[in-house]
Amino acid sequence: MSDSIPNPTPTAPAAASAASSAPTLRSRCAGRSTNTIFFPCSSATSYFSEIRSSCCRRRKTSRSNTGSAWGWTAAAGATPGTRFSRPHWGHFTKRPANSSFSSYDVPHWQVTRTATVASVGESPNLRLDREAVTRRLRHVPEGGPMRPSFVLYATLAVATTASAQAPPLRPAPPAAPVLIKAGRLIDGRSDAPQSGVGILIEGDRIKAVGPLAQVQGQARGARVIDLSQMTVLPGFIDAHTHLLLQGDPTAESYNEQLLYESTPYRAILAARNARIALEHGFTAIRDLETEGAMYADVDVRRAVDRGEIPGPRIFAATRAMAPTGMYPIVSDNWELELPHGVQPVDGVEGARLAVRQQVAHGADWIKYYSDRRYYFGPAPDSVLHSWVNFTDDEARALVDEAHRLGRKVAAHAIGSDGIAAALRAGVNTIEHGDGMTDSLLEVLVAKGVYWVPTVTVAYYVAGPRGGPWGPMVEHQRRAFTRGVKKGVRIVLGTDVGGFPWTELNQAKEFEYYVQYGMTPMQAIKSGTSLAAELLGQRDLGVVAAGAYADLVAVPGDPLKDVAELSRVRFVMKGGVTYLSP
């Protein structure tokens, strides 16, 4: 309540005397430990209030006097009952030269570093004097004297200062060269493995690859990593993931995440998922949509790039797109405005605008939903059909704008109608593609469009979803086999997030590809060099001089048992070892 706040109204001479005798900010800083981040007055609240009060302008108001304890000041000569003048928010640099900070008789709120950063993923432990903060904030009038944004800035100031004093978290490659002794090498390009290979790494890139005896001659002073009993491969690439999802086999499980989990909570789980992907040997992923979490994938990407959390290289698609009504959380109550899993987009100009917005917020790729509602036609028609979402003009505008801005486009297209519409629009990749027909496969080959079939998720959701989803698995298997024979560029993508990150290893996708007609070497290339080609990243997905030092190792021979790819024992990304035997 406002009447519970003390109101010690000083006289003008007393206030002037206090100002002249108060210690300066510089004097208060003297002698402070550099390990303590502090406010020069009793609390963060009073600190920023005093800044505001030093910049105040006199103005009249009829409200009761409630603000002195929060750093608001009375105009000189004011009579009792006069409203304190409220600080102007703008010109902090125009504080009068003779003004200074005063002190309140409450404990300091100080943040003390109590631990150092020991490894990637850790952060300084911050201790807050919560009791002092509570005492100071207990009697805040309704609405509060400080704007919420100002409080947020104060919090960020503390966190930023603490971060600035902490050691950097970015994992740096070793200063000395690294020599890896590989028992077998599958380099992502060749059709046959090599034995007894040396891989010399300097910084974050590979300097030399060749027979061990030859490379050793260039490796004086190098640190040796002995993988002579293992098979070394390029880091895996998953071209279809959802870091912000934790499994959505049913509409209910999907709705629960969007309705009951905040974006910050989902981002925390995404950080965990990024680490899981890296530990499974996936050193790069294309994350195709946040499913209602706005641009959180860009934030996770930034955290990984800065070394704040361990994770793969992330190529983010942000929000994805669908027309109004085509991808909502469904409710019979039309009065409720519910979250959308995508950005709703309508019309040609709306499509171009949405692309520009997503690119402006950090999208590496653009994704849109070409279709929905999947069904098989009546006998003898065995084709999987779908409802097409966008008009051809809308889809072409979307793709054209993305290409104009240097972004490639992925289309969620499951039924044959949606696939055909996406191909007419000029997309770069088809996601899922269960309804592929022979004629559509030929268009993929002719146009050089990649197909990312996401087989693992198809198996995972078929049972819980029921309906056409079961037959769709077999339909996709037959189409996949025909696609391999026709030379379609099939790239590994799992749709993890559609199944929980914590339940299945993404490398299971390699096994399905072999079951569907690929050789083990073809499957490996689909998840390494061919996936890197899809991303436009020729320095990924291969073990070659000049490429990034993204490497994994497995104990057995994956050309004899492709399941070995799920048993990763060594992971290096950018010359930094994240998992070792």
3 state SS for 188-244: CCCCCCEEEEEEEEECCEEEEEEEHHHHHCCCCCCEEEEEEEEEEEECEEEEEECCC
Structure tokens at 10: 């000083």
Structure tokens at 29: 């800083």
Residue 50's Cβ-side half-sphere holds a number of Cα atoms within 13 Å equal to 19
Residue 278 lies in a domain: yes
For range 445-465, the mean pLDDT:
95
d(CA 327, CA 308) in angstroms, rounded, equals 33
- pLDDT surpassing 50 at residue 302: yes
pTM: 0.72
Query: Are residues 249 and 155 located together in one domain of the fold?
Result: no
Question: Which residue among 506, 531, 563 closes a domain?
Answer: 506
Residue 172 lies in a domain: no
CB-based burial, 459-475: b 16+ in 10 Å, e otherwise: ebbbeeeeebbeebeeb
Note the pLDDT of residue 59.
41
Note the pLDDT of residue 305.
97
Residue 185's Cβ-side half-sphere holds a number of Cα atoms within 13 Å equal to 20
Query: Are residues 291 and 392 located together in one domain of the fold?
Result: yes
CATH number, position 320:
3.20.20.140
Note the pLDDT of residue 291.
93
Query: Are residues 64 and 149 located together in one domain of the fold?
Result: yes
Residue 214 lies in a domain: no
User: How far is the CA of 570 from the CAs of 254, 520, 553, 576, in angstroms?
Assistant: 34, 20, 5, 11
Q: What is the pLDDT of residues 44-65, one digit of tens each?
A: 444 444 444 444 444 444 444 4
User: How far is the CA of 195 from the CAs of 18, 198, 211, 503, in angstroms?
Assistant: 81, 9, 8, 34
- Of the pLDDT bands very low, low, confident and very high (cuts 50, 70, 90), residue 259 is confident
The whole domain housing 347 covers: 236-506
Q: What is the pLDDT of residues 332-364, one digit of tens each?
A: 788 887 788 899 999 999 999 999 999 999 999
Residue 246 lies in a domain: yes
Note the pLDDT of residue 332.
75
Domains contained in the chain, number:
2
Residue 306 lies in a domain: yes
Query: Are residues 270 and 127 located together in one domain of the fold?
Result: no
Question: Which residue among 165, 198, 225 closes a domain?
Answer: 165
Query: Are residues 377 and 457 located together in one domain of the fold?
Result: yes
Question: Which residue among 472, 506, 540 closes a domain?
Answer: 506
